[in-house]
């Protein structure tokens, strides 16, 4: 009998030592949208496809990791002509750099509902160290992660040549994302 108790206790301890578990992301309740200003006009676009590998443990957030991968061709501005345009060399150069990606380096708890995330964002072959605050909330059995990441498009050379003019297209672009994890 003591053996069983011992095994049970042993198993219990072991299971709590397990690191952050991979989350199942509900793609129908997750999205990545970008907002930018074109001559003062706010425009929204979204990436209709992305893959994510998020390992997260609520109790030990610093063991969490996130890896997001976005095919550039899934960019959708709601207009076919514009969607074709952004794949070109002056923009994302999707032929040479078909994917954008984010890899987390450090995640730590900020408060009960927020995490500080440090990571590397790579777009058009250019990597930048970035930091953002991730908001977490739980609705029923779903865990929702969302945040906004401002980037400067010229850092990644998105919009080169005549398009580098920030009076036509602002430098600051906001990447808004939401990931919903299934239980």
Do 152 and 129 meet the contact criterion of CB atoms below 8 Å apart?
no
Residue 140 or 165 with smaller CB distance to another protein = 165
Least distance CB 94 / another protein (angstroms): 16
Rank residues 79 and 118 by Cβ distance to another protein and give the closer one.
79
Pick from 31, 33, 35, 43 the residue near another protein by CB under 8 A: 43
Q: How far is the CB of 77 from another protein (least distance, A)?
A: 8
How many residues make contact with another protein (CB under 8 A)? 17
Exposure pattern of 65-104 as b/e (b: 16+ CB <10 Å)?
bbebebebbebbeeeeeeeeebeeeebbbbeeeebbbbeb
CB 33 within 8 A of CB 44: yes
Site for another protein in 119-178 (CB under 8 A): 162-163, 165, 168-169
Using CB under 8 A, list all residues that contact another protein: 38-44, 78-79, 81-82, 85, 162-163, 165, 168-169
């Amino acid at each position: 009998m003591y053996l069983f108790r011992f095994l049970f206790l042993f198993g219990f301890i072991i299971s709590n030592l397990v690191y952050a578990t991979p989350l199942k992301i509900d793609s129908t309740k997750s999205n990545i949208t970008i907002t930018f200003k074109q001559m003062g006009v706010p425009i929204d676009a979204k990436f209709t496809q992305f893959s994510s590998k998020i390992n997260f443990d609520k109790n030990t957030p610093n063991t969490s990791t996130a890896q997001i991968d976005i095919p550039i061709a899934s960019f959708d501005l709601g207009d076919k002509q514009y969607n074709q345009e952004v794949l070109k060399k002056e923009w994302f150069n999707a032929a040479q750099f078909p994917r954008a990606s984010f890899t987390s380096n450090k995640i730590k708890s900020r408060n009960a509902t927020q995490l500080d995330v440090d990571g590397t964002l790579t777009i058009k072959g250019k990597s930048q160290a970035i930091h953002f605050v991730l908001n977490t909330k739980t609705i029923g059995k779903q865990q929702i992660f969302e945040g906004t990441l401002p980037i400067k498009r010229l850092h990644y050379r998105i919009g080169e040549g005549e398009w580098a003019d920030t009076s036509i297209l602002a430098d600051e672009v906001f990447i808004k994302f939401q990931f919903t994890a299934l239980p």
